[in-house]
Amino acid sequence: MNTSKLKQQLPDTRACHGRNSPPDTGDDAKEAIARVTAVDRGQYVITNAQGEVPAKLTGRNLYISESPVDLPCVGDWVRVSYHDAGAHASILEVLPRTSFLRRKRPGSGIGFQMIAANIDVAFIVQSCHFDFNVRRLERYLVMTSEGHIEPIVLLTKIDLIRPEALEQLISTIRGAGIGARVIPISNVSGSGIDQLRALIESGKTYCLLGSSGVGKTTLVNRLTGHASRATNAVSHSGEGRHTTTRRQLVALEGGGFLVDMPGMRELGVLGVSEGIDDSFADLQARSLNCHFSNCTHASEPGCAIRDAIARNEVDAAQFQSYLKLKKESEYLEMTHHEKRQKDRNFGKLVRSVMKSKRRQDE
């Protein structure tokens, strides 16, 4: 990943008047304001004009923030103090956010968790080929509107459908009363990519939301000018620990920034997972014809899905996306369940301790 690009751009970002320039704190000490570019289990990486620095929340801040939404997240502008000649930083304060992406905290009926902050534009990505689903689109739009983020709809893989079919999709979107800008693109033919590039403004922050397999990675590689995201990691060692965190805020060509977190791309993680089954209604319906009711469509005999793929009635790649999404949402449910189980066990433990204590007291 091109670190120097991000470094060079930070001072520019401060100078420009984009909405997500750091707020003016009336303080000229540049190094005291930085942006959170990666978060990994309580470890932070911040980027200032000099580069990336591992950072920690100060103890005081840990205790003051009574809600997880107050904790720093990717994209936050933070006030920091440096130590060890600038090699480490302490986050003193999160500056007010102009926008945010959040999700419900798994396992808790109420309460949110921040995913990213200070995003100007969210590209909501749907593929014209199999993935398109207007209700899921609506759910993403609710999310961006709650977070004060401007949505732009990207319809990908237009090379796989006829122009009339694309017109039809766009009128479905308009018919649902969605007024957001729609840009049809193809990563294969390159159609629409220049229009998209031209939209990217220096100093603004963007994100991509959309199901697995719609072409987000391919697009990110085009927009960052990199062939691969594999080397996109930041190492930071703090207090004897050596960890590597993938950079979650990356520089785009033309001076924009992109929030690129593995988790935020997935529907389940964002809490939009109800959309999974209706967008894959065809697969769902076909799977009812599998010989075994609990068919995993892997190798069981009489599998209606594999038969349909063999007859070219179902797209194999689409089916892979379906399996992947299923697995992700099941995984989320599982961890939620495990957490609840753990809470119950803990509750039992507390009750039994209290009971024996009461007995002792008597």
Ligand X SMILES: Nc1nc2c(ncn2[C@@H]2O[C@H](COP(=O)(O)OP(=O)(O)OP(=O)(O)O)[C@@H](O)[C@H]2O)c(=O)[nH]1
Annotated binding-site residues for Zn(2+) read 290, 295, 297, 303
Annotated binding site: 156-159, 210-218, 290, 295, 297, 303
> Could you tell me which stretch among 83-91, 146-154, 157-165, 349-357 binds ligand X (CB under 6 A)?
157-165
- The window from 72-80, 209-217, 224-232, 334-342 that contacts ligand X (CB under 6 A) reads 209-217
The residue among 124 and 305 lying less far from Zn ion, judged by its C-beta, is: 305
Span 296-355, contacts to ligand X by CB under 6 A: none
Q: Which does 303 bind (CB under 5 to 8 A by kind): Zn ion, ligand X, none?
A: Zn ion
Cβ proximity to ligand X, 77 vs 206, nearer residue: 206
Three-state secondary structure readout of 102-137: EEECCCCCCCEEEEEECCCEEEEEEECCCCCCHHHH
Only one residue has tokens 């670190």, namely 3
Of 220 and 295, which has the nearer Cβ to ligand X? 220
Nearer to ligand X, 9 or 211 (CB): 211
What residues line the site for Zn ion (CB under 5 A)?
290, 295, 297, 303, 305
C-alpha 217/C-alpha 140 separation (Å) is 19
Rounded to whole angstroms, the Cα distance separating 205 from 122 reads 9
- Binding flag, residue 268, ligand X (CB under 6 A): no
* One of 62, 188, 233, 281 touching ligand X (CB under 6 A): 188
Give the closest residue to 111 by CA, choosing from 100, 99, 103, 122.
Answer: 103
Applying CB under 6 A, the site for ligand X has a residue count of 15
Nearest-CB residue for ligand X: 215
Beta bridge partners of 155: 126, 184
User: Does 186 help bind ligand X (rule: CB under 6 A)?
Assistant: yes
Of positions 43, 168, 217, 243, contacts ligand X by CB under 6 A: 217
Residue among 37, 156, 273, 318 that touches ligand X (CB under 6 A): 156
Burial label, 47 (beta-carbon count in 10 A; 0-12, 13-18, 19+):
buried
| Contact indicator for 152, 125 with CB cutoff of 8 Å | no
Q: Are 227 and 217 in contact (CB under 8 A)?
A: no
Q: Which stretch binds ligand X (CB under 6 A): 99-107, 182-190, 251-259, 347-355?
A: 182-190
The span from the CA of 343 to the CA of 334, in Å, is 14
CB of 312 to Zn ion, least distance (A): 17
Beta strands at 77-83 and 112-117: parallel, antiparallel or unpaired: unpaired
Measured N-to-C along each axis, helices 134-146 and 163-175 cross at an angle, to the nearest 10 degrees, of 50
Given Zn ion, ligand X, none, residue 297, with its beta carbon under 5 to 8 Å by kind, binds Zn ion
Instruction: In angstroms, give the least distance from the CB of 128 to Zn ion.
Output: 26
Interatomic CA distance for residues 293 and 295, integer angstroms: 6
Let me know the angle formed at the C-alpha of 198 by 180 and 185, rounded to the nearest 5 degrees: 60
CB of 222 to ligand X, least distance (A): 9
Nearer Cβ to Zn ion (175/301) = 301
- Residues at the interface with ligand X (CB under 6 A): 156-157, 159-160, 186-188, 212-218, 265
